[in-house]
Structure formats: structure tokens, C-alpha cells
Structure 1
Amino acid sequence: MKAANRDFTRAVNQFNILNSIREAGRISRVEIAARTGQSPASVTNITADMIREGLIREEECGCKPRRGRRRIMLTLDPEAAHVVGVKISAFQISFAVVDFVGGVKSSLTMPIRVSERREETVADFIEDGVRHCVEDARLRMDDISGCGVAISGFVDSASADCLWTPLKKGRTRIRDLVAERLSVDVYLENDANSVTVASQWFGQGKGIDNFLVVTVEHGVGMGIVVDGKLYRGATGIGAEFGHVVLVPDGLPCRCGKRGCIEAYACDGCILRRAKEMFSRRRGPVPDLETLTIEDVTELARAGDPGLRKLFREGGAILGQGIAGLIQIFNPERIIVTGEGVRAGDLVFGPMRKAVKKFLNREQFEATEIVVQEWGDDDWARGAAGFVLSELYKSPLDKIHRAG
């Protein structure tokens, strides 16, 4: 066998072993060989290299054997590598430093109206945020193996090109600007895809080969995993679930069309419609200049009938769209997440009702719908998780180059 072929085969075997350890948490060499189909000798040799390089470590099994020595288990070393995730939103940029197993070491959120700033200024903010987070995690930039930047819109991750984003007119150079400032590998990815990869590797999608993630925040996004792989579409800009038109000639959407799912179900559109509704009301109303989606949600929970109707309509449209996804993909699980989950049953009661209405019983029962609680650093952690997934493919090269 040629040297190049041997190196490629070893890299594939290494990834499969590393992935098996990640999925299991703790696993023996014998179990790895059974899972991957590799010979025990190959597993022993490759894991010995990984231990020597600090990627994995040995631990004794906690259970007491009937005879002989305790089994030696293998687990990932969280300190093997660190990456940074950055999420660019309409009104803030969030950051997270994440270790080799997806644990958040530090996080930060910086308020900034991104669309009102020059790209160079946004890149400066990102540099400051990353360096602050790295220092807060008691690390150096030399310890960082990569940076993931997540942004809403059409992102061709292969070329690191954002073809369209609602946050800026025209194409964005943000990846190149950040890479120049940080001098590390920078990956640009659609925000929903980033969260999907993080779900697959560390969250509700772990161990599931066919699932979808629907994100609800200022917009509505989606990520698709089919047969264990992230599906992007022919040109890398697929899965734009939020811009599927369900209401012909309906409400205007920020993408330029009318009647999109996002025009009814996302935080931004619910807030806009709430302000329009209050502007037509007589009597005391909230200050429309300072009104937030959090305020609107609390007023709806308190019983405001007009606001409750907005959330109900958004949930019903979202559910109709999800029913369509179930019929097309037949996924094992759909994970609904994002800041929008704060609305709870205001949205997800009508959503589940609509899903059931638009499916037959067999389709409805085949898919589990999970509404995942959302943390402030989850977007940035998702961007970091995408970098980790890249890192696992060739860890020795990328981690050592960073160090």
C-alpha cells in the first residue's frame, strides 16, 4: 500500500476511534474494536498514539470484576484542545470558549447593532470579545485551535462565503477580517447548521442518525442530519425552512417575499406585529421604543388577548411547516430550540396541535418533537461545536499546529 493511502486509512481509523469514544463517553478498547470493525491490534496502536499526544486518557472501570484486573476505559481529555465560538446576531455578538468535549470554559455577550456598523468595526468587536473570553478561561491565544463564526443567511461553508445575510447588504468579508485579527483558522457557518452539529455531537441529537433542528429567534432556521451527516444541499445553502411560503401574499418577510414561516413565527416579526397592534390601541400602552420580545411574552402570559393571538398564529404556522418536514424526511426526532423557546406553550401548544392536525397517526407517532431549553451561550457553543467536529477529523495536525 502506498504511503499516502496508509496515511489516509489511518486518519479514517483514528477519526472512527475518536468518534466512538466521544459517543460513548467511556469505552474499552475491545468495545471500540467491535464498534469500528478494526482489529484489536490497530485499536491498541492508534489509541496509544492518542494517549501519548494527550487526546485521550485511560481510566479504571468503576465496576469490580469477578476476577483479574479492573477494565481500563478510554475517555476524551477535555484539555486536549480549546476552540472559540462566535454568534453574530442582529443586536448582539456572543462568544464561548469550549474544551475538547464541548464544555464551556467562559462566555460573553456584547450588545451591538451589527447592521449599523462597518464590517471592520464588527471584526474589531469580535477580536476584543474573543481575546477577553480566552483570557477569562485562563488560556492564551496559542492554546486556541480554531474559531467558528455563526451567522444567519446563505453560507457556503466550503468557500467560507456568505452569499446573503439579513444583517448586511451584499456579501460579507467577516471571516477574512476575523482571521486576520486572530491569526487562527476561522470557519464561517450558518447559525442553524452550527447548532445542529453541536446537537449531534453533544446534545439532543447525539447517537441519532436522522434528525432535524428548528431554531426560533430573530429568524427561523433549520439544520438537517441524514444518515449521520449534515445535509447542506447542492450549493450549500439548503434548509432555509423559515423562508418557505405557507401563506400566499401573506405578511412581508425580511427576505423580500411574503407569507414565509418566519414572517409569523420568529421573535422579530412577533415584536413588530405587537408594536403595530399597540400603536392602534386606545388607552395606556407600553413604550414602543423600548418594548422587547421579552416584554411582549410576559404581557401575553399575563393574558393580553391580542398578543396571545399573535403567538398562537405563529405556533400554528410553525406547526404546519414542521408537519411538512416530517412527511418529507421522516426523522426520528425534531429539536426545536433558540431564544424563542421562552414563549413556551404560547407557541408550542398551537404548534403541536397543528402538527397533529396535518399528519396522519402513523406519521405523527413516528417522530419525537423535543423543545430544548435555551441558554445564553448556546449559539456561540454551537459555533464552537462546529469547529470541534472539524478538529476531530484531523486532530493531531490541527491541535499541534495551534500549540
Structure 2
Amino acid sequence: MERNAESASSCGGYLSDSGSIYSPGFPYYYPDNSYCVWYLSVPSGQRVILTFHEINLETCCNCDYIAVHDGYSTSSPLLGRVCQNSEMRNFHSSSRYMTIVFRSDYSIAATGFYATFTTSLSESSGRVDCSSDNMNIVISSSFLNSVGYSGYDLYLNDQRCRPQVSSYQVVFNFPLNTCGTLREFSNGRVVYSNDVRAYYSSGGEITRQSNFQLHVGCYMDQDATAQIMYQAKEDINSTITGTGRFNATMNFYTSSSFITPVYSSPYIVTLNQDLYVQVKLLRNDSSLVLSVDTCVASPSPHDFSTRSYDLIRNGCVIDRTYYSFTYGNRNVAQFKFRAFKFLRSHPMVYLQCKVNVCKAHESNSVCTQPCRSRKTRSLKSTYEDATLVLGPIQLKGSEKNKEKTPEKDIAEAKDIAEAKD
């Protein structure tokens, strides 16, 4: 039977609507070998918003921790693990359910944790939309009126940030790095958050008794995409386009100095020519660093598995001509490789690259320790990634030699072997 969380002092339970949860015995020491599971639910069409106010656990994160799951069971996707030194203390679910697990080992107890949970607004009352550069908050005027406020009462963490107000909705639209927006790292995501607050209105008893605050957040997805096209012939030309959730761009440069980008289209190079590539985030952020995770070549921009060739995979260099100028210590990723083409196929070559985005100065991230086994790399870390596509490449004279002969295939095989060496 579900009950309100205000009475949830026991170890776990089924809780609904809103309230508080805390570790057994809080604010006194929790027992050894605790295993508590709270199943939270809110009304249909709303989401669970969880905030940790106090956390005092054993310093060993694998010993005592709180796991927050996005769903109705402990097998639901993990939103994050909260430990003694966790930076991320706010979570929201993607549905009306959230599951919280508290586990302690056989030694070194502490006073535990205290958290509250509440419901999000329904989509008809308010929503937040996120891009890599902006946050857009829309709140229904009818909802504000129902709680005794108007759009003219509202502001953000930075009180100078005020909304556009109409008769039916209130809209905040602002760059992510303004208006007091906070950035946190959680379970492989970068999270941007802010709060909508309100001045007390001069009239209305409900308003004077209310403490209006809406917590809003943007969870940046891991699968950002961008596309770049180039062609391999004699001259040097290129068209470069590409944006992702993080607005990552991938550009060609004329040399290893990475000073002069290539702008013209298509990018025309010769077989075995060194190609210099730089990836960066459009928004300059010194607290983030990049590393190249995987680059796979294909004769098709839509299929990178049927016929493919790896330059680098899971941070481990495969192609001998691949060379990285940066190693997860800068907010750009720079590398080079030698131009090649596929045998007995269209002369175009496309390159798809996945780039890790990590928190700077994090010693145990995939950016600073790039070449790892599949098992090790499956562990969650405070990083995000962006997938970019680069191509096509067309070699010199290949558009004039579409008829294939065994002699041409042998010659091409020799060229590919030289490129790999």
C-alpha cells in the first residue's frame, strides 16, 4: 500500500506524491549491512524530482552509496550513484516512477542522508526545452494564476533575467552560460540547471503564503551528431558542416599547426596525403576536455558496419598512419591520418568519429586513459560523447577510371598497403 513519504523513516517502502526520505536512524548512525529500496511514484503525466539535502556516508563509494534508478524497479536504468563526495544531488525521472537504493557494508557507518522528492509540472502547465547553447522554459499562465502568481513576478537565479509574458504563457529563453545556470556532471551526462522563482505579489492570500520555486534542468544526451564532407583528389578543398547536442564541429586544416582551416568544397587530396582534423565544442569551455574514441571509415555515409575500416577504436589506435596531437588534456581534439580509398567500390570514403567529452582534471576518465578493454570501458564515468561523420574522400583521377580490371585492383591493393605502412 502506498503512503506519503513524510512518515518514511523505515528502510524503504512504496511512496507517492511528494515528501522526504532518509537513511535508517537519521540523523544518527545507520546500521551496517543496510539494504533499503524506496519505490517512488507521482501522478500520471508528471515526473519525479529528487533532491539530496544532506549526505554523510563512508568515503568508500563502493562500500556505502545511494543508487537512483529511472523507473519502477532496481533493474531500471541508473540515473546516478550518490557517494560521500558526489557533486550531483538533483535527479529527475523520465516517467512517473523512480527507485532509490541505499546500501552500506559491514563497517564504518555514518549519519546517512536526507532527501526530498516532489512532482514535476504536467506538460500542459510547463516544460523546458534544451539545445547545446540555450535553455527555453515555458510556463502556462493559467497554472501561474492558479497558485496566485503572474509572469511579471518571475525571475531566475540571476534576478536580472526576466521572461516574456503573454496572456497564455510565460517564456524564459537564455544562453546556458547565463542567468545563474549551474552545471554538474552525472552518470555520463552534463546537466545544466536553474530555478524559476517569484516575487511576492501585492495581492492574494495564496501568494503571500506560497514559496514559489521551479527547478528546471537540461540533461545533455550522449549521442550528439555532426557531419563533415570531403573528397580526395589533387587539390585541397572542403565543405565542413556539423552540429550536435554539444554543437561539436570537425574541421580540416592544411597542416599540423592547425592555424589555417580548409573551407572550399569538395576537399580534394592525393592518396597517402596527410589529412589534419580538429574537433572542438563551439562553446568555449575550459572545464571540458576532448579525446577521440573511435573513427571508422566506410564507402557509405549511412553504413559503417558492412564494409568498414578502423583508424582508432575504443581509444586504441588501429591504423598505423593515425596520430593524435592531443591526449584528453585540451578542449579540442586534433589528429591526422593518411588518405586512402576502398577497393572495388565507389571512390568516396566517409569517416565516422566518436569523441569523448570529459570533465577537466579528472584523472580516471576515458579521456585521460583512452585505450581500455571493452569490459573496463563499459563502466560509467563522468563523460559525454559526440559522434561525427566526415567525408566523402575521392582520390585523384578516380572519377575518370570507373571501369575495373584485375590489374587496377592489384595496383590499388599496393596503394592501400603503403597507406597502412
Tell me which interval the TM-score lies in, with the shorter structure as reference length.
under 0.3
User: What TM-score do you get using the length of structure 1 for normalisation?
Assistant: 0.21
Q: Which has the higher strand share?
A: 2
Q: Which has the larger radius of gyration?
A: 2
Q: Which has the higher helix share?
A: 1
User: What TM-score do you get using the length of structure 2 for normalisation?
Assistant: 0.20
User: RCO higher in 1 or 2 (8 Å CA, sep ≥ 6)?
Assistant: 1
